[in-house]
Amino acid sequence: MNGKVLLAHQRGTDNTFLPGGQIGMGEKADAALIREMYEEIGETAILKQFIGAVECTWTENDQDNHEINLVFELFIPNLDSSKPPVSQESHFEFMWVEPVELKAHNLQPYPMIECLMNWECGYHAYWGSSLQEGYISRSRICVLNGCNPYWWWIIQGIFTDQELGGNHFGSG
């Protein structure tokens, strides 16, 4: 919105991420994102378009994790990029940043930065991964009738001005 990206930050951590969350079993990705945005900022989002996907793995508390982030462009009519939205969840805070500031704000997973910069330049349907070639995840693949609890599908969104017809971080 106005050339900025909305980032989420979990208090007590040194990284940021795009707002969003997990898809419930049987829930459509777009419905999950709209639900998550309402839960996080108390506003109804309008899905505009799919931007790309970013895969990453990490280990936390001796547990391997594997997620795929599905990234969408959203429009939320009541957002104002001159002030961050008020978080509806006490452990989160939000901030608007310029695209060139994504790395300085430690946006994770780190391939998300390239995804968003490619999208800003007009390239869509990005796929990025933090997995190194030859890496074999100890996580099992998610199947339709049941998911490994360590395989997460994350829905995340960025925001643009409606009058731009879905173009690039709301710039123009």
Say yes or no to pLDDT of 120 above 50: yes
Q: Could you tell me the pTM of the whole model?
A: 0.71
CATH of the domain at 143: 3.90.79.10
Q: Which two tokens stand for residue 25?
A: 């079993």
CA–CA dist 42, 57 (Å, integer): 30
Find all residues with CB under 8 Å of 165, minimum gap 6, and list them.
none
- Please state, for a pLDDT cut of 70, what percent of the chain lies above it: 69
Model confidence pLDDT, tens digit, residues 35-61: 999 999 999 999 888 888 888 888 889
Q: Distance from first CA to last CA of the chain, Å, rounded?
A: 10
Average per-residue pLDDT for the chain = 75
Which residues, in sequence order, are bridge partners of residue 107? 16
Cα–Cα dist 117/99, whole Å:
7
Tally of domains in the chain: 1
Question: From CA 57, how far away is CA 73, in angstroms rounded?
Answer: 24
Domain hosting 113: range is: 5-170
**pLDDT given at position 144:** 29
